[in-house]
Amino acid sequence: MIPNDPLVSTEWLAEHLSDANVRLLDATFKLPGILPLPKDDYLASHIPGAVYFDVDAVSDHSNPLPHMFPSAEQFGRDIGGLGISNGDTVVIYDSGSWVAAPRVWWMFLSYGHRDVRILNGGLKKWRAEGRPVESGEVKARAATFHASYDERRVRSIEQMIANVKSRAEQVVDARAADRFEGRAAEPRPGIRSGHIPGALNLPYNNLFDAATGTMKPLDELRKAFALAGVDTAKPIVTSCGSGVSAAVLTLALYRLGVENAALYDGSWSEWGKADGPAIATGPA
């Protein structure tokens, strides 16, 4: 195990599931239009005691872009409503497809809570091992959570536009190659196809084992970034379709010792708008 590894195993969670200060969140997320809804999946089957974290609900509702980071005040209020306080150990999981436990993990770090972990393999691995699940909704008793926003962990479109000129930070896009290269239509209507000029491409699903749902070993993660042309010794910003799967790259980098990468929150849902900045197509 690496020092300060954000990942915990199913064995660890089974041992600590009933600890008084462990709070478990099911953060499963799907693209719009995919059924059943992630909340319905949660209601049908989740790890005992898990509260559902709705990525769209814990977001800035004044912003038309999908699930943008909320204010620190709102995040604190929403997280407290999920029964989490600043003294708790937060463990996040998703279906096992890595959408969107890493996003929620990064949100907690961005709002000042460092005692947060991700279940390696998620619900997929938990169930494959025959571990217990339950149905229905877990209603948490409200707690008090104080949040403070660290803007260094997130990038705005203004910063990203400036970066196209300066190339001060490497931009690594987590979308599939056909979307990155502009050969496939975007799943959200009205969004152009292509990528941010100068960006590199590393599809997020290259970083985990589809059979087990677990993240690949560190040497394979390191190799994947190198093959994508990423220099992990230099500044990095991750991006994707809407700021969710980009966090899989952010998590992998964190595990490789790159703890200061940033995430472009608006991602392609913002940049790719019809009136957005210039785009590029083709391979990186």
| Cα dihedral value 9, 12, 13, 16, nearest 10 | -170
Closest CA to 237 of 145, 176, 156: 156
Distance CA 102, CA 118 (A): 7
Helix (H, G, I), strand (E, B) or coil at 74: helix
Reply yes or no on whether 240 is catalytic. yes
Rounded to whole angstroms, what are the CA distances from 126 to 8, 130, 183, 264? 12, 7, 36, 31
Tokens 């913002």, residue located: 270
Give 255-260 contacts, CB < 8 A, sequence gap 24+.
255/2, 255/5, 255/6, 255/7, 255/215, 255/218, 255/221, 256/218, 256/221, 256/222, 256/225, 256/232, 257/232, 258/232, 260/152, 260/235
User: Considering 68, 240, 249, 252, which one is annotated as catalytic?
Assistant: 240
* Residue 14 burial class via C-beta count within 10 angstroms: exposed 0-12, middle 13-18, buried 19 and up: middle
Question: Residue 248 contacts by C-beta under 8 Å, 6 or more apart in sequence?
Answer: 98, 102, 174, 204, 207, 208
Active site residues: 240
